[in-house]
Amino acid sequence: MDWRAKLGGFYPILDVDETKLAEDLLSAASVLQLRFKGASRGDLLRIAAWARRLTKEHDALLIVNDDLAAALASGADGVHLGQDDLPLAEARQLAGDRLFIGVSTHSLAQVAAAVAGGADYLGFGPVYPTASKAQPDPVVGLDRLAAAVAVAAPVPVVAIGGITPARAVEVAAAGAHAACAIFAVNRAADVRAAAAAMAAPFGAARRRRRGRP
């Protein structure tokens, strides 16, 4: 399966060193991003080692947030970079064809720049107000998400920021390839049910585009 297909639907982020949570997230996804802000390189590599084994068992992609060296050392499939992380051109030079590279974007100008720079996929948002960052970027809304999808095409766009299972329906309708969530799924009473609810609208959207019920 092409990595773009695995990226679609629910895009979970693991932010707690807990195998059970990772397994619950992967019950409804084919990708897992590791996001451990402030973790030491040693801790990140330890987590990435068991996450790499788990994602292989689930035939899923492993993406490391921010840390290109840890992504390469762990045998991850991809790395995700923020606007203040390693520049895309430098990351591409260092990674070669060993990793695909995602870039977080927050404006249409950043979308265009990331596409021109050769990003393999984009995060775009925050689509809604979010509590997962202390100083979030301004909310972009659904209309600009749809515009970002159009500007980026055919590069996949993952919607980020404040997305819940209920809002995932709107995000899928706006054309996003996937939806990312942390709080609404990772902290849910039933993580597997929340993950499945996040993924469901994207399967329905793909079927509609193919003319299937």
- Residues with active-site annotation: 35, 104, 133
Q: 28 pairs with which residues across the strands? A: none
Structure tokens at 178: 């996937």
Residue 144 and residue 126 in contact, taking contact as beta carbons nearer than 8 Å? no
Alpha-helix residue ranges (DSSP H) falling in the chain: 3-7, 19-26, 41-57, 68-74, 88-95, 108-116, 141-152, 165-173, 183-186, 191-209
Torsion of CA 99, 159, 124, 54, to 10 degrees: -20
- Give Cα separations from 124 to 13, 69, 144 (angstroms): 15, 24, 9
In degrees and rounded to multiples of 5, residue 186 shows phi and psi of -60, -30
Q: Is 2 exposed, middle or buried (0-12, 13-18, 19+ CB in 10 A)?
A: exposed
